[in-house]
């Protein structure tokens, strides 16, 4: 049965469920500031390989799942949202995430190894490895997080031609990407919820080790995540682990390098088989 939405904690989450209905399920988690549509070029490749994909608009992005306080965006809640989706699927899944979706995916894979057959992380390493890197050069790359924690101001600078659009262009977006941000995030009312993930960072629980076969995909053109953030990342994986570095690709792997993203997911799946 196709899953177009599901309910958890009184919130309703929208889902893009596509591909062969009898295919092994792959759950795809988007990051900030994007929605399920960021997987639009990755999913067809997975479908052609026989897999079903489920890409949710996560907490803060789905209109029916937008808590009004930062307490509603704690990482523990984000993890449980994904667990609830997998419960709706009714069987363990292959999991992949980009950016914030990667941060959440690490939590899901660590907390519920029984539900995750393989794990593909894109751009963002294990939360503990990332936190350790903040003592070095990564701190400067992550300075934008302080801006996102200021009340109201980020929403104001997200206007047409504003500072947030300039930041995104500098990170590798083109005009089509900026227009999609305006339509799918700002005009859709999803920006405050997306920012809520940053504002709830102090509420994040510690994440344990991951036992599922894991692929870490990172790109050397990433302005937000430096290579030092990946150092020691394999310490937090007890199963098979592979690190793949893309050359001349920006932070936005699912939209700028969809073939590489799909290939990494399929590589993780193959290890699980």
Whichever domain contains 218, its CATH number is: 3.40.50.1820
| Selection from 153-157, 159-163, 247-251 with the highest mean pLDDT | 247-251
Read off the pLDDT of residues 44-86 as tens digits, 9 standing for 90 and up.
999 999 999 999 999 999 999 999 998 999 999 999 999 999 9
Segment 173-178 shows an average pLDDT of 93
Which residue in this structure is represented by tokens 């919820």?
A: 193
Structure confidence at residue 166 (pLDDT): 85
* Closest to 246 (Cα-Cα) out of 267, 233, 260, 232: 260
What pLDDT sits at residue 145?
80
In this predicted structure, the answer to whether residue 236 has a pLDDT above a threshold of 90 is: yes
- pLDDT value of residue 148: 82
Q: What is the pLDDT of residue 239?
A: 95
φ/ψ of residue 49, rounded to 5: -90, 0
Cα–Cα dist 134/124, whole Å: 13
Phi-psi region of 179 (alpha: psi -120 to 50; beta: other; left: phi over 0): alpha
Domain that holds residue 121: 5-272
Q: According to the model, what pLDDT value does residue 151 have? A: 78
Mean pLDDT, residues 10-32 taken together: 98
Q: What is the DSSP letter of 27?
A: E
Is residue 161 pLDDT above 80, yes or no?
A: no
Query: What is the per-residue pLDDT for 205?
Result: 85
Q: Do residues 36 and 16 make contact, with C-beta atoms less than 8 angstroms apart?
A: yes
As a whole number, mean pLDDT of residues 188-216 equals: 94
Give residue 19's pLDDT: 98
The total number of structural domains that make up the chain: 1
> Using one digit for the tens of pLDDT, what is the confidence trace for 116-128?
999 999 999 999 9
Q: Rounded mean pLDDT of the chain?
A: 94
Instruction: Kindly state the percentage of the chain with pLDDT values over 70.
Output: 99
* Percent of the chain whose predicted confidence (pLDDT) is above 90: 82
Residue 16 pLDDT > 80: yes
pLDDT at 113: 98
pLDDT average, residue stretch 201-225: 94
End-to-end CA gap in the chain: 24
């Amino acid at each position: 049965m196709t899953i177009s939405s599901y309910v958890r904690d009184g919130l309703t989450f929208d889902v893009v469920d596509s591909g062969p209905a009898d295919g092994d399920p792959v759950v795809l988690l988007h990051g900030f500031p994007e929605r399920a549509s960021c997987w639009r070029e990755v999913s067809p490749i997975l479908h052609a390989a026989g897999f079903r994909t489920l890409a949710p608009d996560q907490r803060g992005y789905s209109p029916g799942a937008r808590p009004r306080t930062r307490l509603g965006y704690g990482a523990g809640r984000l993890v449980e949202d994904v667990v609830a989706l997998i419960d709706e699927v009714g069987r363990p899944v292959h999991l992949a995430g980009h950016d914030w979706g990667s941060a959440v995916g690490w939590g899901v894979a660590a907390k519920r190894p029984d539900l995750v057959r393989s794990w593909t992380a894109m751009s963002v390493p294990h939360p503990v490895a990332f936190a350790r890197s903040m003592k070095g050069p990564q701190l400067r790359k992550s300075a934008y997080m302080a801006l996102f924690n200021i009340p109201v101001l980020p929403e104001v600078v997200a206007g047409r031609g504003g500072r947030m659009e300039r930041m995104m262009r500098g990170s590798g977006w083109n005009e089509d990407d900026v227009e999609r941000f305006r339509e799918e995030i700002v005009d859709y009312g999803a920006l405050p919820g997306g920012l809520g993930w940053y504002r709830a960072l102090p509420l994040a629980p510690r994440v344990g080790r991951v036992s599922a076969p894991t692929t870490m995909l990172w790109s050397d053109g990433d302005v937000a995540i430096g290579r030092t953030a990946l150092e020691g990342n394999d310490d937090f994986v007890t199963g098979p682990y592979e690190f793949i570095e893309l050359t001349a690709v920006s932070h936005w792997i699912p939209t700028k390098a969809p073939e590489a993203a799909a290939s990494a997911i399929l590589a993780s799946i193959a290890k699980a088989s």
